[in-house]
Amino acid sequence: MAILNLVILFLIVFFIFGTTVGSFLNVVIDRTTRGESILGRSYCDHCKASLKTVDLVPVISFVLLGAKCRYCRKPLSWQYPMVETLTGTLFVLSFIVLSLSGLLSFWSLTYWLFLISILIVVAIVDLKYSLIPTTLVFLASLVALFYNFFAFEPSLFIQHIITAFILALFFLIVVLITRGRGMGEGDVILAFLIGMVLGAQATFVAIFVAFLLGAAVSLLLIFLGKKHFGQTVPFGPFLVFGFIASLFWANSLLEWYLMLY
């Protein structure tokens, strides 16, 4: 019982750490799209008042302030607590999945948390602005290349590289055929990262989940009258969802799919 309580306490602390990282990711999301430095004090988007530490406690400050700025009382974006909560949850899941799979180490956990942080930024920026921050994706791809080089045997390392190029080529062909209406060039670079990290089998799962979810959401938006046939929906968030789902549960999802047939 004491050990269980200790594990629960650790996961709570780890969740809090994740929400803190999520708070920083919100800064990255907002400022990189404006061309601003991520350094410097946080400020209200409406009145530009500098925020104090008490205003920046992840999730809690948002709730206690009633989702409004302390100074101008304008509504705060729900992006902030959502990103913070999502980051904390995915950090905890990363620790649990790596632990249960026997792959937990300082480097593997750090690698996963880095990738998840980058992809959260990518998904939210694409969702808000229909723009993928390719600089961050290039950085993550470079980190993945070096990690794979030291973590995998040569044949597996080469397989991941080949998967990355094949998937990027497939997406590039789609972009050229649809003239950018189906997806953008940023999705090509994101696809390269997915292939580099996941390898052949898990990449298949990630792309299958992304296209399936993308189709379902698009049809739902059309049904609800939010979108019309011919209008585009940012595909980056679906790719990120597929990537994370496959990173965590690729084998389980593949086994479940094969059982259906």
Asked if residue 174 and residue 91 are part of one domain, the reply reads no
The secondary structure of residue 232, as a DSSP letter, is -
- Both 210 and 138 in one domain: the answer is yes
Residue 236's closest CA among 214, 212, 204?
A: 214
Residues 247 and 140 in one domain: yes
Tell me if 139 is assigned to some domain.
Answer: yes
Complete DSSP assignment for 49-108 = PBPPGGG-STTHHHHHTTTB-TTT-PBPPTHHHHHHHHHHHHHHHHHHHHHHHT---HHH
Q: How many domains does the chain have?
A: 2
Is 150 found in the same domain as 99?
Answer: no
Q: Would you say residue 28 lies in a domain?
A: yes
Q: What is the pLDDT along the chain (261 residues), one digit of tens a residue?
A: 677 788 888 899 999 999 999 999 998 998 877 777 777 778 777 787 787 888 788 888 888 888 888 888 888 889 999 999 999 999 999 999 999 999 999 999 999 999 999 999 999 999 988 889 999 999 999 999 999 999 999 999 999 999 999 999 999 998 888 776 767 888 999 999 999 999 999 999 999 999 999 889 888 888 877 776 666 788 999 999 999 999 999 988 888 877 776
Look-up of token digits 């700025």: 69
Residue 50's DSSP bridge partners are: 43
User: Are 72 and 139 in a shared domain?
Assistant: no
With vertex at residue 218, the alpha carbon angle to CA 201 and CA 183, rounded to the nearest 5 degrees, is 60
Co-location of 10 and 137 in the same domain: no
Please indicate, yes or no, whether residues 58 and 154 belong to a single structural domain of this protein: no
- Decide if 115 is inside a domain: no
- Is residue 118 in a domain? no
Which of 63, 89, 104 lies at the terminal end of a domain, its last residue?
104
Indicate whether 256 belongs to any domain.
Answer: yes
- Tokens 């350094």 correspond to 39
In this structure, the answer to whether residues 100 and 146 fall within a common structural domain is: no
C-alpha to C-alpha distance for 215 and 201, rounded to whole angstroms: 22
Domain range for residue 67? 1-104
Whether 189 is covered by a domain: the verdict is yes
Residue where one domain finishes, among candidates 87, 104, 121: 104
Q: Answer yes or no: do 136 and 74 share one domain.
A: no
Number of residues that this document lists for the chain: 261
- Residue 125 belongs to a domain: no
In this structure, is residue 47 part of a structural domain?
yes
Same domain assignment for residues 58 and 135: no
Of 219, 238, 257, the closest CA to residue 119 belongs to 238
The reply to whether 165 and 92 lie within a common domain is no
97 and 152 inside one domain: no
